[in-house]
Structure 1
């Protein structure tokens, strides 16, 4: 689960940096749409970075950690596809990436459901 901790730290730092850039570096009404996308991406990225850290901390308490490992990877895929697509649209104007965002959203949902399944298996 070392990768989960590393990815949690890197994604957390990136989310904070992008959120700060959106708030301070994307001023002006012509940037409102792009700033909103970056803020949304940073928010989801930060929430899921914290989830990755929590998952890494749970590994020692769950006998069969398979669900936790898959949950961590699903959340990482969600960050790449959902947040990455928002950033691509905001910074590159590549609106075609909007079609990729739902893949990331489904990965986020799957990650949370796998986390729930791991908890049920351990504490149910």
Structure 2
């Protein structure tokens, strides 16, 4: 499990770098300042959660409950797609209704971290 999710996190981090560079160099003259900020928020959360996914995968064996870790990891991936993805598309298209998807990604992030925290809590109680 840990290798697969570490790879997903590394791929996600690489994508975040590429998308960040695209935003900084390719979009700075195209997007309004507000939309560039929206895009940058997507990149920032994308990177945070890609790195978090990598860290969780490294610690998964020590944390214990593999089902909760697996579900939490999948929720982090879903959060990247929904939260950051919706912000990327919103910034590039200026279609405001896409902003309604962003909170679903935020909920996925929260639920994912909740699953991971629960797994860690349970592992700590067993020690």
Normalised to the residue count of structure 2, the TM-score between the two structures is 0.89
Which residue in 1 is equivalent to 2:42? 41
Which residue in 2 is equivalent to 1:84? 85
Which residue in 2 is equivalent to 1:3? 4
Of stretches 77-86 and 57-66 in structure 1, the one that deviates more from structure 2 is 57-66
**Matches of 1:30 and 1:49, distance apart in 2:** 25
**Matches of 2:52 and 2:121, distance apart in 1:** 17
Question: Does the aligned pair in 2 maintain the 1:18–1:38 contact within 8 Å?
Answer: no
Question: Does the aligned pair in 1 maintain the 2:12–2:46 contact within 8 Å?
Answer: yes
**Matches of 2:43 and 2:10, distance apart in 1:** 14
Q: CA deviation at 1:92?
A: 2.3
- For the aligned residue pairs, the C-alpha RMSD in angstroms reads 1.6
**Matches of 1:64 and 1:86, distance apart in 2:** 32
Aligned length: 124
Question: Does the aligned pair in 2 maintain the 1:5–1:56 contact within 8 Å?
Answer: yes
Q: Match of 1:102, SS?
A: helix
Question: Does the aligned pair in 2 maintain the 1:74–1:107 contact within 8 Å?
Answer: yes
Q: CA deviation at 1:29?
A: 8.4
Of stretches 74-83 and 85-94 in structure 1, the one that deviates more from structure 2 is 85-94
Matches within 5 A, 1:43-122: 43-122=44-123
Normalised to the residue count of structure 1, the TM-score between the two structures is 0.91
Specify every segment of 5 or more residues in structure 2 that has no aligned partner in the other structure, as ranges: none
Q: CA deviation at 1:24?
A: 2.3
Q: Match of 2:65, SS?
A: coil
